[in-house]
Structure 1
Amino acid sequence: MFCHNCGMKVSTDANFCSNCGAGLKEELLQHEDEVLSGRSKSKSKKRTYLPFLPPVISLFLVSGLVGGYYNHEQNVNADVLTMKKEAEELALQGDYVKAKSELENALEIRPAYHVLRNNLEVVKIAEEAHIELDDVKTQIKEKQFEDAESNLARIREKIVRLDGPLIKPLKDEASETDVMIKVGKVNNELEQLKTVEELSRKLAVISAVPSEEGKAVKEQILNRIVQLSIEEAEVKIEQKQFTNAMTVADRALQYAVNDKRILALRDKIEQSRKDFEEAEFERIERAMEAAAKEDLKNKNAALEIVNLKVDEDEVGGMTIKGELKNIVKANVSSITVYYNILSKDKNVLDKGFTTAYPFKLEPGNIGKFEDYYYGVFEDVTVEIENITWVVEDR
């Protein structure tokens, strides 16, 4: 042992240094405390890291598990979203069965995904509405208009609060079906209306309907007014009541403004009046009677049918259009086309006629005729029965 003050060697049991008198026991105790303290600190440092090792290892393990689970869930979500998108595309294509199957499979994977459940309900509603709309259209064709209106109202109530690309076409189709019902009801009523006055009152009622919905109905009424006016005017022409015939035509033009059929009719009335005043009415009448007896298929030398087209609509209406050609070297005027409506068995269901336009056809020129026939709810054909005209002197 050495003295901490002077460095002299002293005995281990000495309390004071024999050279400088410094106390030795106190210093020794202090030195032992420092040594002990140092060991304690050293020991403490060695033990500091050991308790943290298990939590760190656990942390890494948990992080790995969480990361793996997260990636798995992300992949599952991606698959579910793909199935959802596929179902939406199938539904838009009208394949409701496959669309429902895709959504049900997705719900088995993600039962808590409420969007899938909502989409499934919308697809089911769309499928039901589509089927029911087809049933309503069948009822319209069968003239069951009250039932059709009631069922359409129920369909609209079912989809009114829904929206989206799947529902919008159904709403549009429902609106179109509503128009079909209105048109069908009016057409059904038209069969009971026999005068222009009655039709004009109905026209006033329809004019209050919004333009998009009332346009088709209004067109049907105007066509009927034109038909009745032509029929009435033709009778008056035959009776040589030319002033009354012109009054009928002018009244029709008040409703069907600039209608080509009525304008052609006015020309016919004027010409008939002129011919009568010039004492040529008998020649015109004989020419028309002779032409009426001739066969349409080229047994006459004046006119030739070059085109005939019949278009049926969904509410029992049928538009008859055609073209005819003047194949002689003289002017042909006062052309009237007569036609028959034939059943499947070729029985005559009804007859009709219309005035061709323009009123006068020069050699080689083509004229047109057009008429609208309503109340057809079976397969029919149209046959041109006869054409009458006047061949004018050069």
Structure 2
Amino acid sequence: MKCSQCRRKIQGNELYCPNCGTIILNNLSNESGKAILANSVAGNPEKIHLETTKKSKKSVVFSITLPVFTAVFMVATLTVFYFHEQTINAEVIELKQKGEQLALAANYEAAIIKLDSAVELRPGYKAVQKSLSAVRLAHKFNNQLASAGELIKNQDYAASEKLLTEVQEGLSSQSGELYAPLVEKADKQAVTLKVISIKKEIEPLNNVAELGGKLSVLNTISSSEGEAVKKQVINKIVEVTLKDASTKLEDNQFSEAAASVESGLKYATNHEKLTAYKTKIEQEQLAFEEAERTRIEKALEEAAKEDLLNRTAAVDVISIEWEVDEYGDLNLYGDIENVSTSNLSSITIYYSIYDSFGSYVTDSFTTLDTYYLNVGEKGSFSDSYYGIYDEGATVEIDNITWYLE
């Protein structure tokens, strides 16, 4: 059966249409229908229609309003949730960026705090977890390098080298901007250890060839420490060379003395003291050969006498200073003046070194910076003696020799 008004299908026992409220006349024959009809006959014909219509409308409104309200509520909830999640995402990204920036500035502890906060907000964000793991590893390497540096300061070189090797092996498997400063720092410490090792090795050496071998190793190291030790090795090569050449020259072994100087110049290229001593050897060789000539024997004897008489009168020592540097080497500086009536050449200053208690340590010699010193002129001299290690050491000039022009 269908409603005569809205054409909706009606159940057999329904007295009114649930959609439009129209009374179903065909069903008024049952008990409920009779009551409705009686009510209508009693003078209330509209009451039945109004009551049934209200119930029907309430049912329709509720059936429409509930889904709409539910949909609106869900959309609002999802919108709030979306913007909340977006805010968290933005905060996580900002924490990640700040943490990585702090790490690149070697502020590892602050970086870890930032990245930890990001992980707490987004535990499943693998990019943040990866950054956090990398920074923690860099922090570990940095702490190990700091410990290795302390071990070097405490002269525990074996332990420092072991720890440094461990760090370098760990860094070898890493790459990226985060680890680059640590690699550089580790390499620098490795160079420092190598330089210290070479310095300890050269202390007992007194052979030019062996010292030259260490110098070749130092030439491969480009660092301030390497340059400092390289300078020490060169100074020692010069010292050993001059001592050997001087001994041979005293025995008139001119060729051997010259060969010794050439050996030193092989490593201390164009060194002023060695080139000056080479000239001295050549000059003394010529003098010796001339002395062999009988025709000028008397003239040479007179020259020798004159040299002996003027040995302490031809020059005046104006000043002399010395210091023992941080590497234990004694550095000597001074000035002299030609107070004679003749130009001088090949001026050599002989000196002795005494320790803090005044005890004799060693002696050496050096030459004037300039080969010639004319009458009335002043000249400077300097020298370095390797391995004194006594800040209270003193220097005394024993003798000064020269040639008259």
Normalising by structure 1, we get a TM-score of 0.65
SS at match of 1:212: coil
Q: Does 1:80 align with 2:99?
A: no
Are the structure 2 counterparts of residues 147 and 351 from structure 1 closer, same or farther at C-alpha, using a change threshold of 3 Å? farther
1:336 corresponding residue in structure 2? 349
Structure 2 contact 349–367 (Cα < 8 Å) conserved: yes
Q: Deviations over 1:183-236 (max 9, x none)?
A: 333333334433335545x45xx7478823797576655443322110112223
How many residues get paired? 337
Return the match for 1:130 from 127, 146, 167: 146
Structure 1 contact 207–218 (Cα < 8 Å) conserved: no
- Within 1, Cα distance between the matches of 2:145 and 2:380? 47
CA shift for structure 1 position 123:
1.0
1:116 corresponding residue in structure 2? 132
2:84 corresponding residue in structure 1? 69
Return the match for 1:244 from 256, 264, 267: 256
1:183 corresponding residue in structure 2? 195
2:386 corresponding residue in structure 1? 373
Structure 1 contact 159–171 (Cα < 8 Å) conserved: yes
- Within 2, Cα distance between the matches of 1:89 and 1:319? 44
Are the structure 2 counterparts of residues 380 and 367 from structure 1 closer, same or farther at C-alpha, using a change threshold of 3 Å? same
The Cα RMSD (Å) is: 4.6
Q: Does 1:53 align with 2:68?
A: yes
CA shift for structure 1 position 373:
1.6
- Within 1, Cα distance between the matches of 2:184 and 2:269? 31
Return the match for 1:194 from 197, 206, 220: 206
Bigger radius of gyration:
2
CA shift for structure 1 position 132:
1.8
Return the match for 2:373 from 345, 361, 371: 361
**5+ residue gaps in structure 1?**
1-31, 292-299
1:235 corresponding residue in structure 2? 247
- Within 1, Cα distance between the matches of 2:119 and 2:361? 59
Q: Does 1:386 align with 2:397?
A: yes
- Bigger Cα displacement from structure 2, 116-125 vs 78-87: 78-87
Identity of aligned residues (%): 21
Q: Deviations over 1:61-105 (max 9, x none)?
A: 21442244135414532662365157426635xxx6666566656
Are the structure 2 counterparts of residues 151 and 76 from structure 1 closer, same or farther at C-alpha, using a change threshold of 3 Å? closer
Return the match for 2:221 from 205, 212, 216: 212
- Within 2, Cα distance between the matches of 1:322 and 1:103? 60
Q: Which amino acid aligns with 2:145?
A: A
Are the structure 2 counterparts of residues 73 and 324 from structure 1 closer, same or farther at C-alpha, using a change threshold of 3 Å? same
Structure 1 contact 287–390 (Cα < 8 Å) conserved: no
The higher-RCO structure (CA 8 Å, 6+ apart) is 1
Return the match for 2:237 from 222, 225, 236: 225
Q: Which amino acid aligns with 2:148?
A: E
1:261 corresponding residue in structure 2? 273
- Within 2, Cα distance between the matches of 1:372 and 1:212? 24
SS at match of 1:91: coil
Structure 1 contact 80–109 (Cα < 8 Å) conserved: no
Are the structure 2 counterparts of residues 374 and 86 from structure 1 closer, same or farther at C-alpha, using a change threshold of 3 Å? same
Normalising by structure 2, we get a TM-score of 0.63
Are the structure 2 counterparts of residues 106 and 233 from structure 1 closer, same or farther at C-alpha, using a change threshold of 3 Å? same
Q: Which amino acid aligns with 1:340?
A: I
